Amino acid sequence: GQNIDQPTEMTATEGAIVQINCTYQTSGFNGLFWYQQHAGEAPTFLSYNVLDGLEEKGRFSSFLSRSKGYSYLLLKELQMKDSASYLCAVMDSNYQLIWGAGTKLIIKP
């Protein structure tokens, strides 16, 4: 079966750095997405990785290792507004998205 695993909840301190991991087992691979979702709102796109390596976009970076079936989202200089759920999704060989359950990130002052 196809599976995406990410931690259920993480806590970090304002101004710090946090890394949210995502491991996957899918039928084929056509890219990995990260989305941010604030409580009660719709997800918004953060990043897309299809090749191995690190993609940096401001305070947010996303890393992919296809051989390990592993990605992480790195958030630097955490702000209170970063409190949200972070969703990992993998596009399989049929171009269908497989979603993880999301990681709820709690930022403390």
Q: Which residues bind another protein (CB under 8 A)?
A: 4, 8, 30-31, 33, 35, 40-45, 48, 87, 89, 91, 95-102
Beta carbons of 4 and 24 less than 8 angstroms apart: yes
Residue 22 or 78: which CB sits closer to another protein?
22
Provide, rounded to whole angstroms, the least separation between the CB of residue 14 and another protein: 26
Kindly tell me which of 45 and 51 has the beta carbon lying closer to another protein. 45
Distance spanning both ends of the chain, measured CA to CA: 40
CB of 64 vs another protein, minimal distance in Å: 16
- Pick the closer one to another protein by CB: 17 or 101: 101
Nearest approach, Cβ of residue 15 and another protein (Å): 29
